[in-house]
């Protein structure tokens, strides 16, 4: 499924189906949290959390695609991410956009 952050897909006419979302909430294990706490003292990238955010974004995109496909969409336009912390060790990520169906039935 085509996903774009732009409003228009060049050369395509489509009808809007509606909003679609993909949401996930992730946390790391206690050992990652201890390592992150130590890294916080000396500074630098906390690779376990970077990995967690990357995984969260991918899961959110996968769920976004699933919801769009269930609605009969061919593509998603205006895709965006939003994220936020829940407590001190959880991260929530949402991918959202507008599901569309191509009018010419070819892609």
Residue-wise pLDDT tens digits, 13-44: 999 999 999 999 887 654 444 454 555 555 67
Q: Look up the pTM and report it.
A: 0.77
Contacts of residue 69, defined as CB under 8 A and 6 or more positions apart, other chains included, come to 1
Q: What is the pLDDT of residue 53?
A: 84
Domains in the chain with CATH codes: 2-102 (3.30.110.70)
Residue-wise pLDDT tens digits, 41-99: 556 777 777 888 889 999 999 999 999 999 999 999 999 999 887 776 778 999 999 99
Contacts of residue 6, defined as CB under 8 A and 6 or more positions apart, other chains included, come to 77, 78
Question: For residue 82, what are its two tokens?
Answer: 């939003």
Four-residue CA torsion sign, 66, 71, 77, 78: negative
Q: What is the pLDDT of residue 57?
A: 93
Q: Say yes or no to pLDDT of 107 above 70.
A: no
Q: Is 37 exposed, middle or buried (0-12, 13-18, 19+ CB in 10 A)?
A: exposed
């Amino acid at each position: 499924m085509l996903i774009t952050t732009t409003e228009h897909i060049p050369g395509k006419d489509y009808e809007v189906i509606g909003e679609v979302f993909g949401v996930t909430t992730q946390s790391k294990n206690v050992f990652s949290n201890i390592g992150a706490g130590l890294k916080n003292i000396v500074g630098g990238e906390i690779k376990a959390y970077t990995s967690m955010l990357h995984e969260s974004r991918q899961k959110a995109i996968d769920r976004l695609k699933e919801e769009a496909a269930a609605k009969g969409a061919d593509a998603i336009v205006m895709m965006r991410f939003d994220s936020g912390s829940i407590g001190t060790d959880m991260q929530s990520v949402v991918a959202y956009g507008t599901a569309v169906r191509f009018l010419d039935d070819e892609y």
